[in-house]
Structure 1
């Protein structure tokens, strides 16, 4: 069994589905403190430029999820769970005009889970 670094709640899956219908293919980047604190930001695929300083943690609902390599050093032991809450964030994320925003819940991996994690790319 392979452990996933990134998951989504049912509410987040429903919102991602809606955003895909409105905008097409999507991607996420976990903000490192700019704009909306440390919220996951959703963009049209390719709209946010990633580079050597970013790592891909995997995919959630077919959308690649990136984080800066430096930030990943702090979060590498944590499973990230994308969720949704009412309210308008202050970021450029695609869900903001809908009156909701994504946020991250976290869960620390067990020692056994850490040994089963896929490499990040």
Structure 2
């Protein structure tokens, strides 16, 4: 395996909801601070913490951030953003559509782990340049 390894992906159904949310609200980001439901929030509505880790980017330049503590628990895992019917956090933008984003996970393969270990560490919120 050569090149980049993504730590985060998105299902087609979740991608469609994400597109609608961006059309309605402008640029958004995901933040995972615990549990299985990441928050989807307007980029100007949320301040990334210094220890938060940039897990990856999804379509339309959508960043996926995870708290430093959660990253330590999930660092050997690939996360996939999915969406289901139901209401999650009232703060998360998809709640207005009667949906909630969830995380599906799998362990990284040995090859993925090797590629990630050979690269630079993931960016943290303290590294952000606004």
TM-score between the two structures when normalised by the length of structure 1: 0.91
What is the aligned partner in structure 2 of residue 28 from structure 1? 30
Bigger share in strand: 1
Aligned residues: 117
- How far the C-alpha of 1:3 sits from its partner, in A, is 1.1
What is the aligned partner in structure 1 of residue 126 from structure 2? none
Task: Indicate the RMSD between aligned Cα atoms, in angstroms.
Answer: 1.2
Report which of the two structures shows the higher radius of gyration computed on alpha carbons. 2
Bigger share in helix: 2
Residues 1:91 and 1:53: Cα distance change in structure 2 (over 3 Å): farther
Gaps of 5+ in 1: none
What is the aligned partner in structure 1 of residue 37 from structure 2? 39
Among residues 54, 57, 61, which one is paired with 1:56 in the alignment?
54
What is the aligned partner in structure 2 of residue 80 from structure 1? 79
Gaps of 5+ in 2: 124-130
Q: Secondary structure of the equivalent of 1:82?
A: strand
Cα distance between partner residues in 2 of 1:83 and 1:38: 10
Deviation beyond 2 Å, 4+ runs, structure 1: none
- How far the C-alpha of 1:105 sits from its partner, in A, is 0.1
What is the aligned partner in structure 2 of residue 113 from structure 1? 112
What is the aligned partner in structure 1 of residue 127 from structure 2? none
- Per-residue CA deviation, residues 67-86 of structure 1 (Å, 9 max, x unaligned), is 11111011000000000000
